[in-house]
Structure 1
Amino acid sequence: MRVITQHTLGGPEVLSVEDAPEPRPLPTEVLVRVRAIGLNPLEARLRAGEFPLLGRPPFVLGWDLSGVIEDASQTWRFRPGDEVFGMPLFPRAARAYAEFVAVPALHLVRKPASLSHVEASALPVVGLTAWQGLVDLGGVGEGTRVLVHGGGGGVGHVAIQIAKALGAHVVTTASGSKRKFVEDLGADEVIDYTAVDFAEAVRDIDVVLDTIGGDTVERSLHVLRPGGHLVTATSEEDTALIAAYEAAGMRFSGIAVDPDPVALRGLVDLVEQGRLRVHVQRTFPFEQVADAHRLLDDGHLQGKLVLTL
């Protein structure tokens, strides 16, 4: 089979398509023929060596995948031919940048007919991050005031829709060029962060969902109501920030997304109800992974990028 691997850390040019042995599933695992692979900014950072989650190269990136069960002899959960998607094994290597993967059956769910493989592959990492942040940690419900930072991005655009489906009033930050995009997703208020300081423009927020990091997390303290809750996917181990929030009577939670078939099925339910869609900005053939990573490196994406096989 073909895989996308790298033998050194660096820019997109270090990614190469090579031949590798087809993996063999262990007990409780399945072999999946991959049809589409969702790309995430984390993978660009790992490729460049910004932190050693996967150790030293060589390694194969990727977690978001959608495909077809090739071999289910080691589990009762699926049969050959079933269409599935998920985010297996995170944060351990799932090696999803490949034509075939062997992964735990429990980390996958059936792909609904209403989602293409491209759309399904784009959903797990961003969808699970948003779900776990808003539902599991944030407890968002009817009438909750939610601020989503970066509403035009991967996590942000899904988070807006989940929060609206839960009955929340949604405020989001986004550049002016993405205003219509986030409004069409259901955002009730849009703050153009290039022209307005969100910390001065909004108050009485119950839950802030942050995927931006930096001083955005610190300044978000000032928009929360007493007892409000900040959930961040970027600063979960910042003890000084945690102490500052607790001293102000606020809650601070860091989220490290993990595989969750229950939440994935919750996302599928929203998709089938017509209340959630994942936006794919662009697809690339498998062989053009370096071009896709150059776009990842540029940042300011609207939704997700996907590799197709």
Structure 2
Amino acid sequence: MVADAAETDVDLIRSFGASEIVRRGDGMAQRFRNVVSARLDAVADGALLCEQITPAIRNGGQIVVVRFWDGEPGRDITVHRINVRGSVTDHADIARLAEQVESGVLTLRVTAVFPADQAVDAHRMLDRGGVRGRIVLEF
């Protein structure tokens, strides 16, 4: 598996099974193409790198975006838009995710936990950027 990572996340991404790490930033798509010697069949983009990474996808390939992106990459690339809000009331999906966390298939990465009455502080932390993991509000 080939993945991109910020310099501070290289070890974490390797622990997820990436055999090759591509540095983020300008020219990232070309670095991917250099590593795989061709364009990618598919990309899972959880970091809003859409415009930066789509040049690395082959014509007719696919991109999965797990955050909001309304772009259209062209070249017959299929965009799969996935958003957790669509599953918020799907109890079977939520139960399956809980099972995957409990069995170790999925690893949660929590950066900070705030009491619900400190939601403003949680949003300030998110707005500052650089958050590696999720911010959780406890109710």
Asked if TM exceeds 0.5, the reply is yes
What do you get for the CA RMSD once the two structures are aligned?
2.4
1:22 matched to which residue of 2? none
Give yes or no for the alignment of 1:181 onto 2:12: yes
Give me the whole-angstrom Cα distance separating, in 1, the residues matched to 2:100 and 2:40. 24
Give the secondary-structure state (helix, strand or coil) at the position aligned to 2:131: coil
Using a 3 Å threshold, how does the CA distance of structure 1 residues 199 and 261 change in structure 2: closer, same or farther?
same
Using a 3 Å threshold, how does the CA distance of structure 1 residues 293 and 221 change in structure 2: closer, same or farther?
closer
Give me the whole-angstrom Cα distance separating, in 1, the residues matched to 2:128 and 2:81. 26
Aligned-pair CA distance for 1:222: 2.1
Query: How high is the TM-score relative to the length of structure 2?
Result: 0.74
Query: How high is the TM-score relative to the length of structure 1?
Result: 0.37
Using a 3 Å threshold, how does the CA distance of structure 1 residues 256 and 264 change in structure 2: closer, same or farther?
same
Unaligned regions of 5+ residues in structure 2, if any?
34-38
Give the secondary-structure state (helix, strand or coil) at the position aligned to 2:114: strand
Aligned-pair CA distance for 1:263: 2.8
Give the secondary-structure state (helix, strand or coil) at the position aligned to 1:277: coil
Max Rg structure: 1
Task: Choose the corresponding residue for 1:275, options 105, 109, 117.
Answer: 105
Give me the whole-angstrom Cα distance separating, in 2, the residues matched to 1:307 and 1:207. 33
Give yes or no for the alignment of 1:225 onto 2:58: yes
Higher helix share: 2
Within a 5 Å distance, the mapping from 1:1-309 to structure 2 comes to 169=1, 171-194=2-25, 197-203=27-33, 204-213=39-48, 216-232=49-65, 233-236=67-70, 238=71, 241=72, 244-245=73-74, 248-257=75-84, 258-259=86-87, 260-309=90-139
Give me the whole-angstrom Cα distance separating, in 2, the residues matched to 1:306 and 1:253. 26
Give me the whole-angstrom Cα distance separating, in 2, the residues matched to 1:229 and 1:250. 5
AA matched with 1:173: D
1:174-206: CA deviations, max 9, x gaps? 210111122223333322214x62211113322
Give the secondary-structure state (helix, strand or coil) at the position aligned to 1:276: coil
AA matched with 2:62: H
Identity of aligned residues (%): 28
AA matched with 1:222: P
1:141-173: CA deviations, max 9, x gaps? xxxxxxxxxxxxxxxxxxxxxxxxxxxx3x332
